Structure 1
């Protein structure tokens, strides 16, 4: 890799690569029946999650490839409908075919990342009308979160502090208007999240850092979370949907 700056970005790439290796190895080592079993993502089998990861890896790779050339391209051919059809098609493949397709897309992503140079990081992408950094962080989120969804020995408890904190920042968009969340990870400094007007209700959410991050990401925390409002114990507040990109929303 020719990037020379951005320690947080280097960590993102490293964790993305680690998940990619683990995902590929599990698929290679397990049976076709096992990949048809349910994942933690409601209504999705492991095969469907793997098919999505194949597609999103290729999608992020082409965002990076086109950005490096100074060009824009949609996240998925055919937008959301194309994405969904692609998942259905690849999820129906036999294991060895799905593994080959996954390996190809992960290879495309690794090659696109390897080709990046420092000056490419600010290049524009169509994903969220953002930059190469945004696309890289999308790949980081997708591979690490869905790695946990697959129920293959990796959970949100394995998420790093940096990844969990990144989710705090990215998922602030899920906070309803006129709501303020004070996130209090045990043994760490609190983090306040708000989205627009904060004149309404304030909640304090306490628990392990990774459990708070999992809840923000719409996943079931491994441990217990507690929520408080005006010194009273309350249910965890409802959150808005996962923030959609400006082009071809990724559904979680």
Structure 2
């Protein structure tokens, strides 16, 4: 299954994922938001702020495509992304949550508009590596991965099967470049071929 090529189904899965996230975070306390997430150096507030700004970024691309403009996710690039996350994570729990929910609703409205319009200019890349019609699939990945990263009880065991069917092959394709040595490559190759155990000490570079 290629969810990038099926924006209608990806949208449905993404909206369901955002609904699960909404239920998880709607009543978080100040202590919850300040607590450490599972991502090194990031609090729960950092992760939630990133999810809000990522929704805005996908909305920016979709809005641009609807108007015939090929725009990037972040107008000022990686530095904008970094500063917005750092600054936004210092806000109160209520501000962070309200912001996240508003950004997700706005994105879902743009999904609807894009679907009605037939996903115009879906091949626009915006300086990235996937067409804007793949935004729903890539937003789904962000929500599913970072929902786990919050460390609030959501686990990979709860990932929808359709999401796993799409993203597992994508992630497997990145393994070679994320392994640190030729011996690690040999080890994981043997394991994938059923020719040896997976080394418990092996690590992959962050994806």
Q: For this structure pair, what is the TM-score category when the shorter chain's length is used for normalisation?
A: 0.7 to 0.9
Pair 1:231 & 2:189 matched? no
Work out whether 1:86 is the aligned partner of 2:50. Answer: no
Task: Tell me the distance in 2 between the aligned counterparts of 1:8 and 1:130.
Answer: 13
Higher relative CO (CA 8 A, sep ≥ 6), structure 1 or 2?
Answer: 2
Deviation, structure 1 residue 65:
0.8
Secondary structure of 1:128 counterpart? coil
Query: Which of 35, 38, 41 pairs up with 2:39?
Result: 41
Q: How many residues align?
A: 195
Q: State the alpha-carbon separation in 2 of the partners of residues 41 and 61 from structure 1.
A: 25
Q: CA deviation at 1:43?
A: 2.2
2:23 to 22, 25, 35: 25
For residues 129 and 204 of structure 2, what CA distance do their matches in structure 1 show?
24
Q: What are the superposed Cα offsets for residues 95-153 of structure 1, whole Å, 9 maximum, x if unpaired?
A: 11112211221122111101013242734131524322322221110011111111223
**Partners of 1:57 and 1:106 within 8 A in 2:** yes
Cα distance, 1:140–1:24 mapped onto 2, change above 3 Å: same
Q: Where do 1:86-235 residues align within 5 Å?
A: 86-117=84-115, 118-120=118-120, 122-126=122-126, 128-176=128-176, 201=186, 203=188, 227=191, 231-235=195-199
Question: Residues 125 and 70 of structure 1: is their aligned pair in 2 closer, same or farther, counting only changes over 3 Å?
Answer: farther
Cα RMSD for the two superposed structures: 2.7
Which SS does the other structure have where 1:166 is aligned? helix
* Alpha-carbon offset, residue 17 of structure 1: 1.4
TM-score under structure 1 length normalisation: 0.68
Structure 1 residue 165, shift from structure 2 partner: 1.8
Distance 1:161 1:22 in 2: 15
